[in-house]
Amino acid sequence: MGSYVAGFKRLHVGVFDDAAQNITDKFIWEDENGGTVNMNITGLAPDMVDMFASNKRVWMKKQGTNEVKSDIELFNIPTEELNSVLGRSKDSNGSAWVGENTRAPYVAVVGESEDGMTGEPVYCALLKGTFSLDSIEFKTRGEKAEAPETTKLTGDWMNRKVEVDGNTAGYVYSYHEGSKGADEFLKKVFVGYQGATTGATTAPTNVEATGNTNSATVNAQ
């Protein structure tokens, strides 16, 4: 994935079954229903392991990733879908309860952006992890109207076994550039899902993204 990506159009979210083998539910968050504001992924660069001898470094190695985490800000996530990714259950009265037995399911996500030079779609996937919502805030209305608050979901991600060109290994994130092969990429990320995995590729506007070797940030203005 190139260093200049522009936009954060939508987020695809897949929820795994209890065995974490197949995706059973999939949501697309965009616009007024979970509209994407920004996504920041950290921990992409591994720690360096090195060896010193004879008063100098004689060997070093970097392999894999560090602890991959994400912060994703979204607008107005539909309640039932938010409950699903957080593992919150409802009773027969429609009341949600969160406590000692609440356990978030494994999820996979794909954020859609575009190449800042060519306009071609760019897909960035986090392959297996869990979401958490750390805080809820109520506050009074002021005299002047204010922009709505976003919801920040924190993600913790781990390796998932994926077969790539005949070889199976553990991967924590992946990306795909361009329309060609995008459907196959989404099907591989959302393994076992029986519904449609394709999203529209309308180009976003007034948005930008930045990144480096250890993290990636996608913003919408």
pLDDT digit string, tens, across residues 145-168: 888 889 999 999 999 999 999 999
- Is pLDDT above 70 for 1? no
Q: What is the average pLDDT value for the chain, to the nearest integer?
A: 89
pTM of the model: 0.83
Exposure string (b/e) for 40-59, b if CB count within 10 Å is 16 or more?
bbebbeeeeeeeeeeeeeee
* Domain positions in the chain: 5-44+64-211
Mind listing the pLDDT tens digit for each residue in 41-96?
999 999 999 999 999 999 999 999 999 999 999 999 999 999 999 999 999 999 99
From the list 10, 7, 43, 26, the residue with the least C-alpha distance to 192 is 26
Torsion sign across C-alpha atoms 123, 127, 129, 130: positive
Per-residue confidence (pLDDT) for residue 3, from 0 to 100: 67
pLDDT digits (tens, 9 = 90+) for 17-42: 999 999 999 999 999 999 999 999 99
- Give me the pLDDT at residue 117, please: 84
